[in-house]
Amino acid sequence: MFATRKQRQRRHEQLAQAHCLSPMFDRPLVEFKNEIDRLKSGTNRIINFDEDFYCNAYPDIKKAVERGEFECGYMHYLLFGQHEVRVTSTIDFRKRFGIAPSYPSTSSLFYPINAHAPRHYETNLMRLPQPDKRELTIFIPYLDASLFYAGYSIFFKDIAKIFGDFEKINVLVLESARNPELLTEFGSQLNILHYREALKITHAPTMAICFDTETFFMALEMLGGDASKIVYYCQDYEAGFFPFGTQYIRCEKALLKSENIIISTPFLRDFLERQGLLNAKRIYVKSPEISPFPVKMEKSKKIFCYFRPEFFNSRNLPEIILEAINAFSARHNGYEFYLVGTVEVSYSFEANGSKVYVLNKLPKDEYINLIGSCDAVVSMIYSAHPGVIAWQSAASGIPTVTNCFLQRDKDTIEKISKNIVVYDPYRDELADKMELALQMDKGDADFNREFYENKEPKDIRSFLLDITSE
């Protein structure tokens, strides 16, 4: 099958781009092309790259080559693979041992998922000229509508308070930026770039604000190791998302290296202090706003569950919630469960006669109307950050089941609201606690705001601008 003119043109463009990214960039393009032809025939001399290993290790790349999207696997590696932490092999293994290198499929129990060093970010923005006026760089992992939940929106609402104090604002996105329009409400002057486009930035940042552990290290490397200009907006103890290992250490290391940190709640601050993880010169502790919503007084036999079944949301204990629904429904008839909070999942099923609805993100009005009509709320978060859904529903007058966690013990949680039923994951059965919540009165709003809130001497805008003044 002959390639079309458009396909030939695309291959020429790929060849030129790959040539610039290859170790042969200082040699003529025609010499690089000849070596690519040798690579495809298995007689390469200059390019030390095992083509068969790369294509066999990654079936998606092999198929892309077969479809003609890339001339060979090496072309993919130069253009994309080297930025995607893809594993490659040199041809030295075959020469040294006389056998082909091997790599298991991603479905294998022995897939070496950790066979890579932590990511590094080579662009040093501090080598750029200093700006005449202040410039801000924001580092975030994603800009995707399916992930733009409370964590992202609160982050931007807080830092948007200083946008008017900067001449230019760059937003560097580590992974995908599929929905840049999400930031329109926060200002039209935001310059959104993928982190590999960082060279489009023209001046060194006056200050950087990062969203999580990985973006903290991205900011730290891109600012030449100067943590004094970086603000870590910490919304949880991220090490708890991982088993003991490199990523666990990396999360705690980010906390220890931070010189300026915003912490989401006093509960999280207390936990980090007890762990000895706060060395920051400047610490600002937030108290997420608790806004009670209208509650329908009549009983409805509806139960609302905050439900996050994604692999990165294990702290929300989705398996325990489903187990409790089965146990509860075996003892009680006629209830409806609304499992709300998934990213891309929505379906319905029956559990021992109870109707169960799994819903993804709802519009705010529909969400408030639904939760306000329920007789009880179940909101789990096995983490140092307590979340706010449980506090909001309890403050509104809905009996709410939530779990304790280390220093966030039963006595502490019960001081927040009389509408909270504390669940101990080690000692209690969640179905029993759901029954207890349903026995309580509904509609009696109660919230100990003085106990919950943290009083900071400055607002968050002043805290951030003080960092730029030194």
pLDDT at site 152: 83
pLDDT at site 360: 87
pLDDT of 242 strictly over 70: yes
Instruction: For residue 355, give the amino acid letter.
Output: K
Instruction: For residue 50, give the amino acid letter.
Output: D
Render pLDDT for 160-205 as a digit per residue (tens, 0 to 9).
999 999 999 999 999 877 788 888 888 778 999 998 889 899 999 9
**Percentage of the chain exceeding pLDDT 90:** 71
Maximum Cα–Cα distance for the chain, whole Å?
Answer: 80
pLDDT at site 169: 95
C-alpha torsion angle, residues 25, 31, 37, 42 (rounded to 10):
-80
Render pLDDT for 142-159 as a digit per residue (tens, 0 to 9).
888 777 777 788 899 999
pLDDT of 2 strictly over 80: no
pLDDT at site 45: 81
Render pLDDT for 431-464 as a digit per residue (tens, 0 to 9).
999 999 999 999 999 999 888 887 888 899 999 9
pLDDT at site 6: 76
pLDDT at site 470: 66
Residue 389 and residue 395: Cα distance in Å, rounded?
Answer: 10
Q: Higher model confidence: residue 51 or residue 7?
A: 51
pLDDT at site 146: 72
The span from the first CA to the last CA of the chain, in angstroms, equals: 65
pLDDT of 4 strictly over 80: no
Q: Write out the DSSP string of 200-254.
A: G--S--SEEEESSHHHHHHHHHHTTT-GGGEEEEE-S-GGGGS-SSHHHHHHHHH
Nearest to 304 by CA among 376, 400, 388, 393: 376
**Contact indicator for 18, 25 with CB cutoff of 8 Å:** no
Render pLDDT for 276-331 as a digit per residue (tens, 0 to 9).
999 999 999 998 888 899 999 999 999 999 999 988 889 999 999 999 999 999 99
Instruction: For residue 134, give the amino acid letter.
Output: R
* Whole-structure pTM value: 0.84
HEC readout, 377-443: EECCCCCCCCCCHHHHHHHHCCCEEEECECCECHHHHHCCCCCEEEECCCCCCHHHHHHHHHCCCCC
**Contact indicator for 33, 15 with CB cutoff of 8 Å:** yes
pLDDT of 3 strictly over 70: no
Render pLDDT for 248-271 as a digit per residue (tens, 0 to 9).
999 999 999 999 999 999 999 999
Domains in the chain with CATH codes? 5-97 (no CATH), 125-285 (3.40.50.11090), 302-452 (3.40.50.2000)
Nearest to 136 by CA among 458, 463, 465: 465
Render pLDDT for 61-111 as a digit per residue (tens, 0 to 9).
999 999 989 999 999 999 999 887 788 999 999 999 999 999 998 788 898
pLDDT at site 307: 94
Q: Write out the DSSP string of 78-89.
A: HHTGGGTT----
pLDDT at site 230: 97
Render pLDDT for 360-376 as a digit per residue (tens, 0 to 9).
878 889 999 999 999 99
Q: Running DSSP on this structure, what letter comes out for residue 454?
A: -
Q: Is the dihedral of CA 448, 453, 455, 461 positive or negative?
A: negative
